[in-house]
Chains A and B, each alone.
Chain A
Amino acid sequence: MSPDLITGMVAFLFTLMILSYLIGDNPLFRVAVYIFVGVSAGYVAAVSIRQVLWPDLLQPLYQGFLFGMSLRQAVLAVPFFLSGLLLMKAWPPLSRLGMPAMGLLVGAGAAAAVGGAVTGTLFPQVNATIAAFDITGVTSPESLLNAGLVLAGVITTLVYFHFGARTRADGSVRRFGLIEIIAFLGSVFLAITLGVLFAGVYSAALTALIERLHFFGTFFGFG
């Protein structure tokens, strides 16, 4: 029995077990899910060690011990120490020792998120919105109209998310009247956007279903 055949049979079984969820939650689905979670976790953990910790931390330090530490290798002593502390979190009584390591991780993550948000989203999106009005690049009036619609969509959607409000005479908390009107337009743009995205998501899901059915056909020799 060839490995491909074994792979195909196992994949077929798992596909059936998962699709059985369409009937309802059942043990077959549960078994497939738990196996999937276990295998993926073990695989990812192995990948983390083999492709992150070993090449970035352990191997350089190992080579440093063997052939003398370079500055870059010596600096790795810090993450090595912090990793040791972080491993303590696996044991609840000592989990507090891992706090500094988590602090560094969270600090770097927060900074990456902030930096990414500013350099990766805010500026590029704002620039792209404005750039659409570049007269030199405009080929037709309708492209200007489209650019205006995009601008309107961006602004009204941004206004839609405005949080600040005030209490009215009747006790209800609502936003300023003009903001409410603009926000309404924003909700229209949002609905259209989500609808377009949903169509894409559904296309992807439908393609996945078709691929699985095609896999069945291939497995049974129809494909």
Chain B
Amino acid sequence: MAEPIICPVCGESNPADMEFCKNCQSRLLPLTGPLKDEDGPIHPGQIPTKKVTAELEPILPEWLREARKQARQSAEDEPTITGGDKQTKPLTQTPDLLAGLADQNKQGDEDDETPDWLRSITGAPAKKKKNEQDSSQVKWVELGHNEEPGKDVPGSESAGLPWMRGGESAPEKDELTEWFKQAASPAAPSGENLTFTKTEAPAPVQPDRSTPTTPVSSAGEVPVGTKDIQPYERESVKDLTGSALSSDIEIPDWIKKLDAETPSAGQHTESGKDAPSPAFSSDTDIADWIKKLDSGTPLVGQQSESSKETSTPALSSDKDIADWFKKLDSETPPPGQQPSSSKETPSPATMLPDVPDWLKSFDEAAGAGQSGTESGEALPDWLKTAGPSVQETPAGPAPAEPAIVQSQPIPEKNLPLSELPDWVSSLTPIEPRAAEPREPAVPAFQMEAPATSPAEPVSSVSALPTEPPAASPAGPVPAASAFTEIPESSDDVDAIFASMKIPDWLADITPSQPSPEEGLPPAAQAEEPIEPAELPSWVQAMRPVESAMRDSTAGPLDSRLEERGALAGLQGVLPAIPGATAATSKPKSHSIKLDATDQQQAHAALLEQILSAETAPVPMKADSVPRSQRVLRWALSALLIIILGGVIFGKTQIFPLPAQVPNETIAAIQAVEAIPADAPVLVAFDYEPATIGEMEASGASLMDHLLLLKHPRLALISTSPTGAALAERFMASTLAQRSYQSGAQYVDLGYLPGGLAGVFDFSQNPTAVMPLSADSAEVWNTQVMQGVTHLSDFAAVIVLTDSVESGRVWIEQTELARGNAPLIILSSAQAGPMFVPYVDSGQVKGMIAGLNGAAGAEQANGGLPGFVRRYWDAYSLGLLLVVVVMFLGGLWNLWLGIQDRRVHEAG
């Protein structure tokens, strides 16, 4: 009677023959222990027990069934394969599945929606569409979302990782399935896949990830996993020519085993012998991490301290991806799945708001893996992280999945999650930071990621927590994409996990330490159909070698046991069973914590600042309007009024009138003197009351001269409503000495409306347009207007105007109708210069402009009525005073203006 077994979980005592605890159903006998019908561990190269797994065939997922079928066919088709042949075999299948992805990537590049500001931060080269994107991206920043669904910023959940959109998971499943099919042969890419491939590939691991796949890439047959990370991988490929050359012969033995799974066993041993490890197949970086592994430095807790230390998991994950990929080529699941899945995993993993227990176990396992690799450098790193149990069976995880699941088929698109733990284990220290809500990991990781240089994969990983950013072509962008997707609410987290669409067979696997709020994981039900320890042969192949068993107990992190499921009892085995990560999917909620270093927080704050600068509305600055200077205004007013008033009141005549009379003034005087006596003359008063002082002074002399000499009959008219009153005032006050009376010597036609049109009409038919005088009396049949029916009947037309426009109207609109009647302009100084050309051209016979022009007329008129002389001293003195003040004040203000400009430019 064997002694009862104490359940390590619940402490319940169980009979010795029980494999599972009757209380908690946890495995009592670790798989590492002797299994049924098995004695002792398998030694390296040992052929596993042949197990008939045919009955499992129907329940295998479709892709796996196809894979197996394909493998069989290939095995049948091919004759006995030599090691070298076998090594090349996986590569022979890659082109088909990569052809489509090449297109996808190409298109993906075209549709890269990285905003320019983000691009500038990351240092990534700007896209050609940059300018077009600017506005929209800015809008996106301002509005907090991108208006174009297909143009989300990398890392945005919705588009960055389409498969994460819970709502859209169903259609994506189809697209993904389609994509998988396309991956097997050159096919057109799908839009979903673009974002899909774009947003995975975390910056820190990409360069490393590319390393083992380089050989394939160099052969022009890039596996999906590497193809998707081309932007920075291409550079790394150039750096890794050595590994590229050796790629074809650098295939781990476990692949050969997989290849030979259907063929004879002899080949297994063969392949087992001459298969170099992927570690050696990759470039010198590998040697570094091997050294580090030798040093046995534990990863967890020290990753942030030393970049070299952290490099190990990254490398392992990368090589792992390449390894399983090669394996998939031979193992026959549609190859597109694995890489894509492995690429997908970073994003969801980094988005995990809280590190689940199984992830912690990865950390521990990672440490264990190192100790485990002391003797097994050739093994893929994910095997190291998986702990000792899988030391000798590199192909473990992927093939193991179907074995674990025997109840539900695996949805193809969910397979990617199977690879989650590997690289997640390398990123474990980062994840919590990435999950902090107040400081989205985007900036933090964004700023860190650039440190990743394709040529320095190790530092790229190590830089994550600590290193400041450095330019990297494209690495940061996907990294940002992965980290920007960190949901800040538990709901978001649920949505992400829900959208992951973890296959049930994976979801059923329980995490090693389920959180209390989680009920019994569905894995418990999934296990039922499984007969404990009735493992398929290839699962048996996963059993650890003795050395690994010894090592597994050596490390402090090895104490963790898998308690449930087919692998119950295994230590640190979860990383080897990526599906197990999916078992933690659909958590209720996770608190989001980010353990960011000060530097990361500084970087995050920096990016936040940049973002806020983008979103913050720029307050419109009012144009500076110079302040009014009352004192200056008062001083100028006082100066002018006092000085000019003194001159006016003093009636001084110090300043002489201009000696030279302008030509146009002389012409005006001559024109007036040429008017026949007692002839009808039309006088237009087209000025405003504002200029009455100047206009009366300008016109008085000539009009007085005319009335004195020729006694003309006047017809007064105005195109201004107030003109008639001004005309009356002119006749009554300015020309009072001539005692002209309305109706006797002159008539006031009054206001001529219509401006240009009115003047034109009047010039065409004066009697019809202005039939009545200002006082509504008949005028054309009076004695004053006797013989006047047309404009040409007037002996002259005299226009008193203060504006260029009204003067031009009279000049131009009456030109034809005037006939030989001369036109004389009496204008304000402000309009005078513009009439000179008309004087020169003869359209205007003469002109008097302002006081200067009137001075000559006044002198010609014997000083009567003498307005100019009265005003001239004040006028001249005033102008000189103004010139001095304007000159000095102008210089002073010019200097002040320059000062202001300097201050403005400086400030």
Contacts and interface: CB of A to CB of B under 8 A. Distances in A.
Interface residues of B, number: 57
A207 B871 contact: yes
Contacts of B772: 51, 55, 59
Interface stretch (B587-595, B639-647, B669-677, B894-902): B639-647
- Report whether over half of chain B's contact residues are helix, strand or loop; otherwise say mixed: helix
Contact of B837 (A51, A52, A128, A199): A128
Interface string A30-61: 00000000001001100110111011000100
Nearest to A211: B693
A53 to B, nearest CB: 10
Contact of A40 (B694, B697, B722): B722
* Most chain B beta-carbon contacts within 10 A, residue among A40, A44, A197, A213: A213
Contacts of A121: 808
* Most chain A beta-carbon contacts within 10 A, residue among B651, B692, B837, B879: B837
B757 A112 contact: yes
Nearest to B645: A213
Interface residues of A, number: 46
A43 B644 contact: no
B721 A206 contact: no
B887 to A, nearest CB: 13
B721 to A, nearest CB: 4
A9 interface: no
A176 B832 CA distance: 36
A204 B849 CA distance: 10
A14 to B, nearest CB: 12
A210 B831 contact: no
Contact of B829 (A22, A200, A216): A200
A145 interface: no
Given A55-B771, A210-B878, A214-B648, A196 B833 contact: yes
Contact of A51 (B630, B751, B829): B751
A204 B721 contact: no
Given A44-B721, A44-B722, A210 B871 contact: yes
B361 to A, nearest CB: 56
Given A207-B875, A210-B875, A120 B837 contact: no
Interface string A141-164: 000000000000000000000000
Given A120-B813, A214-B871, A203 B851 contact: yes
B694 A211 contact: yes
Contacts of B648: 210, 213-214, 216-217, 222-223
Contacts, number: 137
B753 interface: yes
A48 B753 CA distance: 9
Contact of A202 (B690, B691, B770, B882): B882
Nearest to B813: A120
Contacts of A44: 721-722
A48 B871 contact: no
Interface string B750-790: 11010111000000000000111010100000000000000
Contacts of A223: 648, 870
A212 interface: yes
A10 interface: no
A196 B648 CA distance: 27
B832 A200 contact: yes
Contact of B809 (A22, A55, A120, A201): A120
Given A217-B648, A217-B649, A204 B634 contact: no
B762 to A, nearest CB: 12
B693 A203 contact: no
Contacts of B80: none
- Report whether over half of chain A's contact residues are helix, strand or loop; otherwise say mixed: helix
B694 A207 contact: yes
A208 interface: yes
B751 A47 contact: yes
Interface string B853-886: 0000000000000000011001100110010000
A207 B697 contact: yes
A204 B691 contact: yes
Contacts of B870: 214, 223
Nearest to A52: B753
B400 interface: no
B850 interface: yes
Contacts of A24: 630
A176 to B, nearest CB: 24
A51 B754 CA distance: 12
A123 to B, nearest CB: 9
A84 interface: no
A116 B753 contact: no
Contact of B641 (A59, A197, A213): A213
B751 A207 contact: no
Given A54-B776, A112-B757, A209-B640, A204 B694 contact: yes
Given A22-B633, A44-B721, A204 B829 contact: yes
A120 B812 CA distance: 6
A211 B692 contact: yes
A45 B812 CA distance: 29
Contact of B875 (A19, A48, A206): A206
Contacts of A22: 633-634, 637, 641
A93 B524 CA distance: 81
Contacts of A201: 829-830
A33 to B, nearest CB: 14
A106 interface: no
B828 interface: yes
Nearest to A220: B649
A145 to B, nearest CB: 15
Contacts of B630: 24
B756 to A, nearest CB: 5
Contacts of A55: 770-772, 776
Given A131-B841, A207-B694, A210-B874, 4 more contacts: A47-B721, A128-B838, A209-B641, A210-B878
A-B pairs with lowest CB-CB distance, top 6: A211-B693, A200-B830, A203-B829, A207-B694, A22-B637, A200-B829
Interface of B: 630, 633-634, 637, 640-641, 644-645, 648-649, 651, 690-694, 696-697, 721-722, 724-725, 750-751, 753, 755-757, 770-772, 774, 776, 802, 808-809, 812-813, 828-833, 837-838, 840-841, 850-851, 870-871, 874-875, 878-879, 882
26 contacts: A22-B637, A23-B634, A47-B724, A47-B751, A51-B751, A120-B812, A121-B808, A131-B841, A197-B830, A199-B829, A200-B828, A200-B832, A201-B829, A202-B882, A203-B694, A203-B830, A203-B850, A203-B875, A204-B694, A206-B878, A207-B694, A207-B875, A208-B694, A211-B694, A213-B641, A222-B651
